[in-house]
């Protein structure tokens, strides 16, 4: 692991703790915009799958410990969801052979967002709420209530990643 990867990963973990605090000033801002997801997804896209996975696991754990967000009942699902975000976004960036284009970033981002939501839903459905979690509950929790966050992520993250690439602030 390179020093640049470690420094960027630490920065994204710190942003994942601080950014949600700003969004919680907006009523339901954390739930609506999923601000903790933004730095984790960016981390995977610009530092790679291993560090993305680390950021995805560490960010909600550290945030919950320091700020109480996410609350304990939501923590296991978020750790899995964000870990998969970081891992999948980094893997997709490595697997796609195209140049540093918005298309590559968008494909990696969408695949990671779908994989993370599926993984989080599986944790909720099979472990945390076994037998009481329906497909309707999953769609509502991860897509309907999260539409503002999904749109925000699709608009902001590719622009930020492309800017980091142009500034040579990526580690992959």
Domain residue spans in the chain? Answer: 3-166
Joined tokens for residue 21: 């605090």
* Helices 75-95 and 49-67, axial angle in degrees (round to 10): 160
Q: What is the DSSP letter of 34?
A: -
- The 10s digit of each residue's pLDDT in 51-97 is 999 999 999 999 999 999 999 998 999 999 999 999 999 999 999 98
Q: Mind listing the pLDDT tens digit for each residue in 102-156?
A: 999 999 999 999 999 999 999 988 888 888 889 999 999 899 999 999 999 999 9
Burial of 147 (0-12, 13-18, 19+ CB in 10 A): exposed
Identify the band that residue 100 occupies on the pLDDT scale cut at 50, 70 and 90.
low
The correct answer on CATH 3.40.50.1370 for the domain covering 3-166 is no
Contact 77, 124 (CB under 8 A): yes
List Cα–Cα distances, 109 to 4, 75, 114, 166, in angstroms.
22, 22, 9, 18
């Amino acid at each position: 692991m390179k020093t640049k990867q470690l420094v960027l990963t630490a920065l994204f973990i710190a942003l994942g703790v601080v950014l949600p605090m700003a969004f919680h000033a907006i009523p339901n801002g954390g739930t609506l915009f999923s601000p903790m997801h933004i730095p984790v997804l960016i981390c995977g896209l610009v530092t790679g799958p291993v560090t993305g996975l680390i950021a995805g696991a560490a960010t909600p754990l550290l945030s919950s410990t320091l700020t109480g967000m996410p609350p304990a009942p939501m923590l296991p699902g978020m750790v899995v969801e964000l870990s998969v975000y970081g891992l999948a976004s980094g893997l997709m960036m490595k697997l796609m052979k195209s140049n540093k284009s918005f298309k590559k970033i968008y494909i990696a981002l969408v695949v990671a967002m779908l994989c993370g939501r599926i993984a989080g839903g599986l944790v909720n459905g099979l472990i945390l709420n076994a037998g009481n979690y329906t497909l309707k509950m999953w769609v509502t929790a991860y897509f309907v209530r999260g539409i503002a966050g999904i749109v925000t992520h699709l608009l902001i993250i590719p622009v930020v990643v492309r800017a980091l690439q142009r500034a040579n602030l990526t580690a992959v």
